[in-house]
Chain A
């Protein structure tokens, strides 16, 4: 336990994360990696949250489970994370730094310590009901796990369905469980946890579509929610990826999506922020799944494609023939017999149409999660009027209670990257609060010294697992074990009932010692789930974990060949022979400690950069903050007020004061980065100052790029040619200086979405719509009689910003939509202007006189972005903003280790979002520089210098820019290598090998197979 130096109060180096969805997992991992003990509490019996139910994710169509399941596994095996599932917070006492949380862990009726997840209980359970995970589209048992990758991989008994709990009979699960893991008498447990901070990430619920009776959800079988549609798309879903009408199992030919079901209405005056994009995604995926000729229509008000890459995605959807109709669908009737659906709607030209669809998906919005008021009461935090967690825009991740933070969709509707960013940001807040307690409650696991195998011949031990009947029910396990004894190098074989059970692990350790085994082959399940466990087990008796090899004879053999016992046994023997052959070629690998600098270099002194710098400096890390201009502040220096109503000057000056007052931050203004070399933990960067010709060398462990952006300035709509035409940025200045023109104007016309679209594809600048609403309200304040007309393509006031749009309309602003094909035209009329445009419902061209024309111009990347991209070897995306490592799950990381990004440098965003991203980038950076040393090595590429011809192939091919040529040979820094082996597969001199996947180690598998086949004892 540590004392906080400043206040003398106790600081507990542990945190409670409530909610095990993607946000909760991210926060937990960021904290655990920076030395804080984490309790990850999940209300349901398994972590994973909403993302587990998604098929693919926009705008990259990445498979949701592919990118998420490694996180699940990481959470489940992290030494600093304890998952407490099926649990609630009962109360939270104490104060920031020193809380006591009382937790109720509800009875699961399965002993998590004993269960190996073999699934026999589920197979034998006779009772079925609708699956919640598949939203009623399939059945599940009374004892069940929701999906194959569930974590913890332990089933749960639904007492409402289980016949034992209803009538006291059955107990099939108890009978078949060979481990005695079913505990029907299990009681709820209460526990008290001492934690320094709490992060609330309980997520959100989806709107109950049944409440919108006009759409017939629940009555019309072919009306689904968008989330049900998502399950239909999933290859692992109820139909294995076939889109079928629930009424007749026939593939639909015409599908419609209705947007804003449970969003942007009287009861839900906010936009759910994700529906336009997921509907677009679902339509595109449906097109891939269905035969050609099917039609897809999305009925919507505004297309809210406000994120990075979203507009390009929308373009692609349109090119693929997805139809967008601008009309809010209001009712639906079912056609008797066919059970198709009839929609009457009015198109943009005001024509009344009737159209029939085979299937309709309701794009349901997000609502506050069920049980949120209990959680709020237990933790003592305030909720906003919609029932989401409340926070202030300048401290967006803080709840009303100090020491309790919030993130993800609990803070309001948002997509995955924003949730992940917030989660990292919230973790950053906790890292800062608990800085003095870091590392006090976690301790790396201690292992005995490793046995030396130098010069020893391989002595392989093979352990074949029955996995109850999962393997042994199909594969002749004893035969596999017996025949493995014939393989070269094998000195010991055994077969065990459950290899992962505690007693089997112990027996295995004893066998290693007794038979002096120096290689271990486990023939059992998948390495993805069990390799870490078995590797740790061999390490416990001094065997290097890289001398362990696995044959997957369950997931990739017995489970898929259940009807072919002999062939499955033959295949298992081959897999074992291959694993044994490879094991003989394995060699021990070591991760070695490497020193690092704990200094951060932050490039860019705007809101995001200053926030990141402060976040790190306030927990004791030295920071060098480089700013090109002569003063800190960035884009905000030119603003008047923020959308939140706060004075932007105040916001900036407060930040600048804090930065300047912090002794850990060294500010270099009028300075630019000129060169940078090195790798994670050990970068060396030269900074040149305008005033001082000598270059400054900064040694730093991490880099954060926060170089912002600028307002586009072109000559569209007479900008620069007529004094009455200004940009939105100019309007901000005019508001700031109280320009008399604003008070005198009779009519102001605003044109949205102005940018360099002749030169590059359109992208949304995300903030302009909200800024326009804010400034309309400001204008109306100072000049109530002024008419404001907004010409727009789509209004994109996502999330709670929607309310400002509603207010702007209430204040009398007039909104008229224009399209790319029919743009407004601005002409000079003396001192005034004339703006002509087409009014869509009239279908006529109108001309209005205006005193002022405000052009809402795009935010474009700052001028130095390209240069910086070269200096730091980090990529730019198609819009010219910096490109993150992964658009969904690594939103503030660069692909290369140790480099991070935040703020408008990443993509246009609001001040609130820039603050969150700044904190998130700091949290990610903290994961690196909070380490005393980096453990380097393992599966990395290694160069044999003697063979290297410096051909530059590796330098050119590496997607992470790791290899360099120094002194005539390639150098691949182990600390930076990601271990993919792309360079290894290409090197013409065979000078590079990927350790643990060396050529001989890969080829050994083939040789093992060939030798076994040549021996003739196994069928081909």
Chain B
């Protein structure tokens, strides 16, 4: 899922400072699950901003709403009326949600309340960890289901660098060395010999570097 976290309160307040009436819009999917932008967070954000406004003498009006998925126009249309009634929208969706709002409502000012952090999973309740870089050219099959792009700090494809010590990355003792993880899994699976094969350079153009990626399925079009 998409994992995000709320922006610092000051940054959020700066963004919306010119506006008197703001809709805080949550999203009921990924960001709900990662406790960043669901219905509850919308309520907390609204209450927090109202109080912050009261304390600083800049009282604003905040509306609250949460849609099933901000990245679908149909769901956004359900709150169109509320959007039309405010000066700006503070989206607690991921970056996709913010853009969907911008595209659907060309004249509406929309601001992100979250930083969209990564694609990942909860490793325990309250802790999320990146697992996918959306590189567009998946190599997990080669690496026993451990992604070297995300989990190795240098995204190395042919073994670890010299900074791997006791299974930990030199960047931080809290980061396990991705290549240690790959090695351990391959060992369990009895596939260590596959490491002898040299992995050719990856097609990075399928990923972040290329603007305007899209997928078209003619068969699904209506």
* Residues of chain A having any CB pair with chain B under 8 Å: 947, 949, 951, 953, 956-957, 987-990
The answer to whether B41 and A949 touch across the interface, beta carbons within 8 angstroms, is: no
B29 / chain A contacts, CB cutoff of 8 Å: 949
B136 to chain A, nearest CB (A): 27
Q: How far is the CA of A989 from the CA of B43 in the complex (A)?
A: 11
The answer to whether the Cβ of B125 comes within 8 Å of any Cβ in the partner chain is: yes
Known: A947-B28, A949-B29, A949-B32. A989 touches B125 (CB 8 A): no
Contacting residues, chain B, for A951 (C-beta < 8 A) = 32-33
Give which listed residue, A949, A956, A957, contacts B38 with CB less than 8 A: A949
Pick the most buried of A947, A949, A956, A988: most chain B CB atoms within 10 A of its CB.
A988
* Contacts of B34-52 to chain A: CB distance below 8 A: 35, 38-41, 43
In the complex, how many angstroms separate the beta carbon of B186 from the nearest chain A beta carbon? Answer: 29
CB <8 Å contact, B125 and A988 = no
Chain B residues whose C-beta falls within 8 Å of the C-beta of A947 in the assembled complex: 28, 39
Does B43 lie within 8 Å of A990, measured CB to CB? Answer: yes
Residue of chain A at shortest CB distance from B35:
A988
| Most chain B CB within a 10 A radius of its CB, from A947, A951, A957, A987 | A951
**Chain B, residue nearest A951 (CB):** B33
Q: Name the A residues within 8 Å of B41 (CB-CB).
A: 988
- What is the distance, in angstroms, from A942's C-beta to the closest C-beta of chain B? 16
Expressed in whole angstroms, the Cα–Cα distance for A947 and B39 within the complex equals 9
Instruction: Tell me, in angstroms, the Cα distance from A947 to B38 when the chains sit together.
Output: 10
Contact A956 B39 (CB under 8 A): no
B43: which A residues are within 8 A, CB to CB? 990
5 contacts between A and B (CB under 8 A): A949-B32, A951-B32, A957-B125, A988-B33, A988-B41
User: How many angstroms from the CA of A951 to the CA of B121 in the assembled complex?
Assistant: 11
B28 partner residues in chain A, CB cutoff 8 A: 947, 949, 989
Q: In chain B, what residue has the closest Cβ to A953?
A: B125
Q: How far is the CA of A957 from the CA of B126 in the complex (A)?
A: 11
Q: Given A947-B28, A949-B28, A949-B32: A987 and B40 within 8 A (CB)?
A: yes
B residues less than 8 Å from A949 (CB atoms): 28-29, 32-33, 38
Nearest 7 interchain pairs by C-beta: A951-B33, A988-B38, A990-B39, A988-B35, A989-B32, A989-B38, A988-B32
Q: B residues bordering A, Cβ < 8 Å?
A: 28-29, 32-33, 35, 38-41, 43, 125
Known: A949-B29, A988-B39, A989-B39. 12 other contacts (CB 8 A): A947-B39, A949-B28, A949-B32, A949-B38, A956-B125, A957-B125, A987-B40, A988-B33, A988-B38, A988-B40, A988-B41, A990-B40
Give, as a whole number of angstroms, the nearest-CB distance from A963 to chain B.
Answer: 13
Contacting residues, chain B, for A957 (C-beta < 8 A): 125
B184 to chain A, nearest CB (A): 25
B40 shortest CB reach to chain A, Å: 5
The smallest beta-carbon distance between A307 and chain B, in angstroms, is 34
B34 CB, min distance to chain A CBs, angstroms: 8
For the complex, give the distance between the alpha carbons of A947 and B125 in Å.
Answer: 20
Please name all residues of chain B whose beta carbon is closer than 8 Å to the beta carbon of A990 when the two chains form the complex: 38-40, 43
Chain B residues with CB below 8 A from A953, complex form: 125
Q: How far is the CA of A366 from the CA of B33 in the complex (A)?
A: 57
B26 nearest CB across to chain A (Å): 9
Q: CA separation between A350 and B40, bound complex, in Å? A: 69
Residues in B with CB closer than 8 Å to A988 are 32-33, 35, 38-41
B39 CB contacts on chain A under 8 angstroms: 947, 988-990
How many Å from the CB of B177 to the closest CB on chain A?
A: 29
In whole angstroms, what is the CA distance A989 to B33 when docked?
8
Closest CB of chain B to A470's CB: distance in Å? Answer: 39
The CA of A989 and the CA of B28, in the complex, are separated in Å by 7
Q: Which residues of chain A have C-beta atoms less than 8 A from B38's C-beta?
A: 949, 988-990
A944 to B9 alpha-carbon distance, docked (Å): 31
Question: What is the CA–CA distance of A703 and B51 in the complex, to the nearest angstrom?
Answer: 52
Q: How far is the CB of B43 from chain A (nearest CB, A)?
A: 7
| Most chain A beta-carbon neighbours within 10 Å: one of B29, B32, B35, B41 | B32
Residue on B nearest A955 in the bound complex, by CB: B125
- CA A953 to CA B33, docked complex, whole Å: 8
In whole angstroms, what is the CA distance A989 to B92 when docked? Answer: 13
Given the complex of chains A and B, what is the CA–CA distance between A957 and B28 in angstroms?
Answer: 20
Chain B residue nearest to A999 (CB atoms) is B43
- Which residue of A has the minimal Cβ distance to B30? A949
- The complex places the Cα of A32 from the Cα of B73 at a distance, in Å, of 60
Chain A residues near B35 (CB, 8 Å)?
988
CA of A957 to CA of B125 in the docked complex: distance in angstroms?
9
In Å, the complex CA distance between A123 and B28 comes to 60
Q: Which residue of B lies closest to A988 (CB)?
A: B38
CB nearest to B38 among chain A residues? A988
| Neighbouring A residues of B32 by C-beta, 8 Å | 949, 951, 988-989
Q: Which residue of B lies closest to A990 (CB)?
A: B39
Which of A947, A949, A953 counts the most chain B CB atoms within 10 A? Answer: A949
Residues of A within 8 A of B33 (CB): 949, 951, 988
Q: Bound complex: CA of A990 vs CA of B28, how far in Å?
A: 10
Minimum CB–CB distance for B123 against chain A, Å: 13
Report the bound CA distance from A989 to B32 in whole Å: 6
- Alpha-carbon gap, A375 to B69, bound state (A): 74
Q: How far is the CB of B116 from chain A (nearest CB, A)?
A: 17
CB distance from B23 to the nearest CB of A (A): 17
Of all chain B residues, which has the CB nearest A956? B125
* B125: chain A residues within 8 A (beta carbon): 953, 956-957
**Whole-angstrom CA separation of A695 from B149 in the bound complex:** 46
User: Cα distance A988–B37 when bound, in Å?
Assistant: 8
**In the complex, what distance in Å separates the CA atom of A949 from the CA atom of B35?**
12
Q: Which residue from chain A places its CB closest to the CB of B41 in the assembled complex?
A: A988
Shortest CB-to-CB span from B74 to chain A, Å, is 16
In the assembly, what is the distance between CA of A13 and CA of B125, in Å? 51
- Cα distance A949–B27 when bound, in Å? 11
Question: In whole angstroms, what is the CA distance A38 to B44 when docked?
Answer: 51
Bound form: Cα–Cα A990–B35 in Å: 11
A1000 CB, min distance to chain B CBs, angstroms: 12
A79 to B173, CA, bound (A): 63
Nearest to B29 among chain A residues (CB) is: A949
State in angstroms the CA–CA spacing of A74 and B80 once bound together.
54
A982 CB to closest chain B CB (Å) equals: 13
Contacts of A989 in B (CB 8 A): 28, 32, 38-40
A577 to chain B, nearest CB (A): 22
Q: Give Cα A953–Cα B35 distance, bound, in whole angstroms.
A: 10
For the complex formed, measure the closest distance between the CB of A84 and the CB atoms of chain B, giving whole angstroms: 51
In the bound assembly, the distance between CA atoms of A990 and B43 in angstroms comes to 10
> In the complex, A956→B43 CA distance in Å?
23
A991 to chain B, nearest CB (A): 8
In whole Å, how far is A965's beta carbon from the nearest beta carbon of chain B?
12
Residue of B nearest to A950 (CB): B33
Distance of B113 from chain A, by nearest CB (Å): 15
Instruction: Give Cα distance in the complex from A510 to B41, angstroms.
Output: 47
| A192–B35 alpha-carbon span in the complex (Å) | 65
State A987–B33 Cα separation when bound (angstroms): 9
With the chains together, A947 CA to B26 CA distance in Å? Answer: 12
CA distance A927 to B58 in the complex (A): 61
Kindly provide the distance from the CB of B20 to the nearest chain A CB, expressed in whole angstroms. 22
Closest approach, in angstroms, between the C-beta of B3 and any C-beta of chain A?
A: 12
Distance between Cα atoms of A988 and B35 in the complex (Å): 6
In the complex, chain B residues whose CB is within 8 Å of the CB of A987: 40
Report Cα–Cα, A953/B40, bound state, in Å.
13
| B40: A residues at CB distance < 8 A | 987-990
Query: In whole Å, how far is B70's beta carbon from the nearest beta carbon of chain A?
Result: 14
When chains A and B are docked, how far (Å) is the Cα of A956 from the Cα of B28?
20
- Provide the bound-state CA to CA distance between A841 and B145, in Å: 66
Q: How far apart are B105's CB and chain A's nearest CB, in angstroms?
A: 24
B38 to chain A, nearest CB (A): 4
Q: Which residue of B lies closest to A987 (CB)?
A: B40
**A985 nearest in chain B by CB position:** B40
Provide the bound-state CA to CA distance between A264 and B1, in Å: 67
Closest A-chain residue to B37, C-beta based? Answer: A988
Q: How far is the CA of A951 from the CA of B39 in the complex (A)?
A: 13
Least CB distance from B171 to A in Å reads 30
Q: Distance in Å from the Cβ of B2 to the closest Cβ of chain A?
A: 13
**How far does the alpha carbon of A846 sit from the alpha carbon of B16 in the complex, in Å?**
85
- Please give the distance in Å from A449's CB to the nearest CB on chain B: 38
